[in-house]
Structure 1
Amino acid sequence: MLITGGAGFIGSALARRLVDAGYDVAVMDVLHPQVHSRNSTVDLPSAVRFFTGDVTHAPDWDAVLRLIQPSQIVHLAAETGTAQSLSEATRHGSVNVVGTTQLLDALSRAEHVPEQFVLASSRAVYGEGAWESDGHIFYPPPRSHAQLLAGIWDPKGPTGKAAEPISSSAGRTEPRPTNVYASTKLAQEHILTAWAAAHDSNVSVLRLQNVYGPGQSLTNSYTGIVALFARMSRRRLPLEVYEDGRILRDFVFIDDVVDALFAAVRRPATLTRRVDIGSGVPTTIHELAAMTAALCGAPDPTVVGKFRDGDVRAARCDIAPATTELDWRPKWFLEDGLRALLNWIDGRPEIADSASLVDS
């Protein structure tokens, strides 16, 4: 078993779970400073074979595959950050797209075909997703800068009437990326499924919603809105809520994500499968801010009307297919997950207090 990006937030937690279950686990990670601070240590079980390597560098892949021939590869290595990808498109394309093709070319050189690839994809591939208005389902275009500047947050239906977002489902919702990061994640899906089909391998694609919890990097400014709100509330700082506070997200706890990835490993796909992994409960950004502030005794959050270009209005998913296909279901409620995250941050005050702020 090989986990790319396995020293990161999700990868290290998954490695622990796999080792506990008796799997032979290897990890390849470049230890990028945006994720791993200068003084941080790699938090992996001693049984894990760790390889420092860059997924975009062919010799690194060749060195790893000379030593191991993994039956499955969990592909987590990726550049993240929706806003960051708009100004660092080459970096995202290089790691997410070229890094994936380098993996496949290295497998060809090694004459090795894994039984399965498990790809951690993203809810971002849906873009604005599907909406419903007056009984009609439609796909709104990305929100323009002028639209956001005018405070027009929700898309209108084809007839100009109000619309409501529909939960995304890999089996029915069309992917329509609205930023470079999302486009590269969708490209990863296509590249892996094409190669696997030609080599009699299989792919499990797990489109993850907003993952949070203990183990997140607190020094990475692109680590997510939950960690940002937790760090600020812990310091009793007021929280600013963007747009009108009604941005919608599905926040899923790290343990539930690891359970889903583990389930995909344990039950390899026989055909390409795509499922959505979230809590199944949509939450507004204002609700998240208010809950976090209340847990810390911080001031009530303020809706400020600011916005980020490239951000989508609503992201929520249908987890029913995942519960059926993976025999998995989330166990963590948001408030319980926030408490666990805050307790973990309390044990690292020097990192939390110095961490910079944020992309969601």
Structure 2
Amino acid sequence: MTSSLGTVLVTGGAGFIGCELSRALAPSADRWVVLDNMHPQVHASPDTRPERLAAEAELVVGDVTDATAWDELLAQVRPDVVFHLAAETGTAQSLAESNRHASVNVVGTTQMADAFTRAGHDPAHIVLTSSRAVYGEGLWRRTDGETFYPPQRTRAQLEAQQWEVEGAEHVPNAAAVSFPAPVSVYGATKLAQEHVLSAWVGARSTALSVLRLQNVYGPGQSLSNPYTGIVPLFSRIAAEGRSIPLYEDGDITRDFVFIDDVVSALVAAAATPPTGLPRTLDVGTGVRTTIRDLAETVAAMHAAPAPEVTAQFRDGDVRHAACDVAATTAALGWTPQWSMADGVRALQAWIDEQNVPAGS
């Protein structure tokens, strides 16, 4: 079947987002090749091909940090489009495993660039999945209208339960307005990915799209990965009849974006590559949700006890994260379709189908 996408390479393409993307696009690509190291933190059965990976996908087990793996792959594959999804995730984990995150996220990206140079091949378009973590605490506005960027909240502030920035409110992040200032190693490595690829394509004929994703969730998420996200975590706790613990005061906010909306944004980005400079777009719902609201929604679905505020906190966590998707809608003709309540309901139905023993 002929497709405008041609041959597609997806790094990290056997993971959550990669599998769902393959189900949407692989059948219409000339060739769909996945490079993934099948890390056991993500894959409960690393030796087993993921069930949700499209049948048309060619799975190549290899590591993006391995130059030999790249050379062997590019000797056989000349991708027209590259979805660069491979990354170590986890804000808190990145503080304890900084080298691992930097190796995969930064060195893995430079290895990819060098491999294309050695192979003498420039893809037509690279689509990078970046993260809202690059913004850090983000842009804030005082009551008098003045905007500023607060520093990272210190351990002393968090221990004193000084959660908020007094006399100001968080402004939804937008790539054209908000200056990136990551406060986690993970966020710093994702921003480095953006910088590396932007510099590399500047000397090539390759277009670059950077999509900064908010908190992605939905069917297909790893249920064994402790860093997979709070939506499946909350679902599992409530399903066990336990009260969901709320960090800080429960009023942390996030933009929870359903996997189908993320996939449709990636599809739209691939279909309409930029014609000039690299573009950076935000992918979320544009709706701010407190973790309290999320927890209460999940608890109600299971008739679980009411969530409880614990005043616990995580180093490197930001207080608020939300985005403005107007620029993304204008550039891609894309709009999010899923509400938080509908998305959580769909995720929980899928979790129930997995028959995962409680507490596992």
Q: Read off the aligned partner of 1:176 and give its amino acid letter.
A: A
Q: What corresponds to 2:3 in structure 1?
A: none
CA contact (8 A) 2:239 2:358 kept: no
Aligned-pair distance for 1:50? 1.2
Q: Which residue of 1 aligns with 2:351?
A: 345
Alignment of 1:173-192 (within 5 A): 173-192=178-197
State the superposition RMSD in angstroms: 1.1
The residue that corresponds to 2:92 in the other structure is 83
Number of equivalenced pairs = 349
The answer for unaligned runs of 5 or more in structure 2 is 1-7
Verify: 1:253 aligned to 2:263, yes or no.
no
- Asked if 1:215 is matched to 2:250, the reply is no
Contact 1:193 1:202 in 2 (8 A): no
Whole-angstrom distance in 1 between the partners of 2:310 and 2:123: 49
316, 326, 337: which one aligns with 1:320:
326
Counterpart amino acid of 1:78?
A: A
TM-score, reference length from structure 1? 0.95
| Structure 2 residue aligned with 1:159 | none
Which amino acid counterpart does residue 42 of structure 1 have in structure 2? Answer: P
Once residues 21 and 110 of structure 1 are traced to their aligned partners in structure 2, the CA distance between those partners, rounded to angstroms, is 26
Q: Report 1:256-271 matches (<5 A).
A: 256-270=261-275, 271=277
Q: Among 137, 156, 159, which residue is 1:146 paired with?
A: 156
Question: Structure 1, residues 122-149: CA drift from partner, whole Å, max 9, x if none?
Answer: 0000000000112110100000000000
Moved more, 261-270 or 20-29: 20-29
Return structure 1 stretches of 4+ with deviation > 6 angstroms: none
* Separation (CA, whole Å) in 1 of partners of 2:164 and 2:221: 31
Which among 23, 35, 39 is matched to residue 28 of structure 1? Answer: 35
Percentage of identical aligned residues: 53
Matches within 5 A, 1:189-200: 189-200=194-205
The reply to whether residue 52 of structure 1 matches residue 61 of structure 2 is yes
Closer, same or farther in 2 for the Cα pair 1:23/1:13, shift >3 Å? farther
| Post-superposition CA distance 1:200-234 (Å, at most 9, x none) | 21110000000000000000000001110011111
User: Residue 38 in 1 paired to residue 48 in 2?
Assistant: no
Residue type at the aligned position of 1:106: A
State how far apart, in whole Å, the 2-side matches of 1:202 and 1:71 are.
11
C-alpha distance in 1 between matches for 2:10 and 2:29 = 15
Per the alignment, residue 274 of structure 1 pairs with 280
SS at match of 2:264: helix
Q: Normalising by structure 2, what TM-score?
A: 0.95
Give the CA deviation at 1:22: 4.1
Contact 2:214 2:255 in 1 (8 A): yes
AA aligned opposite 2:134: V
Structure 1 CA distance for aligned equivalents of residues 55 and 132 of structure 2: 33
Distance change >3 Å, CA 253–CA 23, structure 1 → 2: farther
Distance apart, 1:94 and its partner CA: 0.2
Q: What amino acid is aligned across from residue 154 of structure 1 in structure 2?
A: E
SS in 1 for 2:40: coil
Q: 2:315 & 2:29 partners in 1: Cα distance?
A: 45
Q: How far does residue 349 in structure 1 lie from its aligned partner after superposition? A: 2.2
Q: CA deviation at 1:23?
A: 4.6
Question: Which 5+ residue runs of structure 1 have no aligned equivalent?
Answer: 157-161, 356-360
